[in-house]
Structure 1
């Protein structure tokens, strides 16, 4: 099982992960803070090389862009999720996501793509309400340098496997 996402850099990523844990979200320590580009997807191990080649091609032709996070949002009542909203960088995320979801990763998503940073998921309504209120004034800005490939471990933890840097298509370990 793999996923592709824009990691949220520190200090924002770790602070939001701690905030998620403070709401009692059991997945807080298993999911690094991110903006999803490719949701959890089953990939045959032998196809991983083709997937990585595709991701390098996508990254190679992209350029860094700015993300500005501002305030909270929710997908309720459709899905019990509270998130930090993007105020800048939405179109850039949509473009990159569309390109990631092509070629060997082409698939139909169950919901329209909406870039966001999940902060609470599948928790009691009163906890989701508190998360929504607590993050209503949240603000952060950072430059997006690229995206990362994550793998879902047997222990249920998502781990960053490889970075794909915009303009070069690969990270320092590629």
Structure 2
């Protein structure tokens, strides 16, 4: 089964993100707006049990933190993705490194971790540039308190569902 780790920001942030995702993200119906911490991968039952133990340990040692979304950005030309960017990504980067450490290190990943909330993907280059030109003029000033992350699994219809939630207690 495919598993991944994500953070769901506040309802206010999700509502703003969904106002764009409805139009520009083909995964809109498969998962709510989120910040991916660990990308999807296939795990068997033994790997899942070890991952849960590891994730609980990370959560126990991580203090809650705040994120601030301050602009729209893109991964173009690497990918035709538009996202809401963070002014201070360090707490999420630290969480990513703690989760993706030891046995859970992600080997051979072709790019560095950039915490973001996707609002558009699989766009044509022309559409991406048109949408981004408009969004860059739009002020973005949203804050969310992060006090948990979620282990998700993908269902048969390709939607993502929470398997377990981990409270930050550090």
Calculate the TM-score normalised by the size of structure 1.
0.88
Residues 145 and 131 of structure 1, relative CA distance in 2, 3 Å threshold: farther
For residues 142 and 17 of structure 1, the distance between their equivalents in structure 2, rounded to whole angstroms, comes to 15
Cα RMSD, aligned residues only: 1.6
For residues 13 and 86 of structure 1, the distance between their equivalents in structure 2, rounded to whole angstroms, comes to 14
1:140 aligns with 142
For residues 131 and 163 of structure 2, the distance between their equivalents in structure 1, rounded to whole angstroms, comes to 30
Deviation at 1:21?
A: 1.2
SS at match of 1:30: coil
Greater RCO between the two (CA within 8 Å, min separation 6)? 2
For residues 12 and 46 of structure 1, the distance between their equivalents in structure 2, rounded to whole angstroms, comes to 35
Calculate the TM-score normalised by the size of structure 2.
0.90
Alignment pair present for 1:14 and 2:10: no
For structure 1, the 5+ residue unaligned runs are 169-174
Alignment pair present for 1:2 and 2:3: yes
TM-superposition CA deviations, 1:66-120 (whole Å, max 9, x none)? 10001111110011111111013x1111111001112342222221111111111
Deviation at 1:129?
A: 2.5
Residues 133 and 162 of structure 1, relative CA distance in 2, 3 Å threshold: farther
TM-superposition CA deviations, 1:107-159 (whole Å, max 9, x none)? 22221111111111111223323432444322210111021111111101111
For residues 123 and 73 of structure 2, the distance between their equivalents in structure 1, rounded to whole angstroms, comes to 15
Residues 48-67 of structure 1 aligned to structure 2 (within 5 Å): 48-67=48-67
For structure 2, the 5+ residue unaligned runs are none
For residues 118 and 54 of structure 1, the distance between their equivalents in structure 2, rounded to whole angstroms, comes to 27
Residues 77 and 142 of structure 1, relative CA distance in 2, 3 Å threshold: same
Is the Cα–Cα contact under 8 Å of residues 65 and 92 in structure 1 kept in the other structure?
yes
SS at match of 2:93: helix
1:103 aligns with 102
How many pairs does the alignment contain? 166
